[in-house]
Amino acid sequence: MAPSSSPLRTTSKADEKYANVRWEELGFALTPTDYMYVAKCRQGESFSQGKILPYGDISISPCSPILNYGQGLFEGLKAYRTEDDRIMIFRPDQNALRMQAGAERLCMTSPSLELFVDAVKQTVLANKKWVPPPGKGTLYIRPLLIGSGDTLGVAPAPENTFLIYASPVRDYHKVSSGLDLKVDHKHHRAHSGGTGGVKSCTNYSPVVKSLLEAKSSGFSGVLFLDAATGRNIEELSACNIFIVKGNIVSTPPTSGTILPGVTRKSISELARDIGYQVQERDVSVDELLEAEEVFCTGTAVVVTAVETVTFHDKKVKYRTGEASLSRKLRSMLTNIQMGIVEDKKGWMVEIDRYQGW
């Protein structure tokens, strides 16, 4: 099946360096690329090498566990084009390990770390011309692991499908200075013993109602509280959160209800490198309201400042702009990702010399 149409996509030739895309108009929405990666595995067996196929719809049983019981996981990572025309991906091993942890929680068979990274490389290489020019965006990569076999009862899927597609994107949030967040004290994203700590597909649709309500009132997003006490902050609908006061940067712990973000982990390390004390601990709403600065991290949002937080009828404004820590950390991270500075962390993986498909 041919890729579906997109208003940003026009006809391009196979030998062109770039796809015919209006890069300046990109947002965070699907612009279909040419190819996807697909591998299948029976329960109790191991994944073997999959195939690069033309991007398009897939066939799946109405009785599959992903459709009936939500047995599925997804990941998100990005490929970057540097000024010297190398194509790099950011810490794909961390996404592979997180998918393995999620698969263990959902009783699924996951691809090995090596196969996961290899599949990401193949997908990016196949869609190389869709990696935007430097400074014009990134190629967002979406690995999926879904229970695709037939089973009527609640049970592990007899077959799992590992699939990767990609789309060029730019900013997730179009904001000038920072996000305006609403603290949701009625709904909860996760609870102790649940699946909040893994990237389960079922974690995301329940937050849409809160998100739509907040956006209809002029907010950028929603910050959720813990279900146990209703006093501590956890995360947004799709990213982690940090608060800054003095030389201390604090973020809620990944103790089972909060997703262990790859960007979260990286930003914590970079903050320590420049002398900040980073604490992973419970953070109360009261501390949030007394913070000097607040920011979010994630693959999609990168590092994005929070300008205001509203809790009940109290609204607090935070430091943003050139003097903010979030601006410095974002620059440090993106300079590594874009090859502007040396990657002394060993985080970036080059793929453009890969010849595996």
Is 199 catalytic? The answer is yes
Give the three-class secondary structure for 144: strand
Give the three-class secondary structure for 29: coil
Residues facing 21 on adjacent strands? 9
Residues 156, 170: Cα–Cα separation, whole Å: 37
Q: Does an H or E element contain 302, and which?
A: strand 302-311
**Do 34 and 126 meet the contact criterion of CB atoms below 8 Å apart?**
yes
Contacts (Cβ under 8 Å, ≥6 apart) of 14 = none
**Do 248 and 305 meet the contact criterion of CB atoms below 8 Å apart?**
no
Please name which of 250, 305, 311, 256 lies closest in space to residue 282, comparing C-alpha atoms.
250
**Do 169 and 29 meet the contact criterion of CB atoms below 8 Å apart?**
yes
Neighbours of 240 (CB within 10 A): 25
Residues 19, 127: Cα–Cα separation, whole Å: 9
Q: Which residue out of 199, 245, 328, 344 is catalytically annotated?
A: 199
**Do 113 and 126 meet the contact criterion of CB atoms below 8 Å apart?**
no
DSSP 220-256: SEEEEEPTTTS-BEEEESSSEEEEEETTEEEE---SS
| 87-90 and 348-350 beta bridge pairing | antiparallel
Q: Does an H or E element contain 286, and which?
A: helix 285-290
Residues marked active site are found at 199
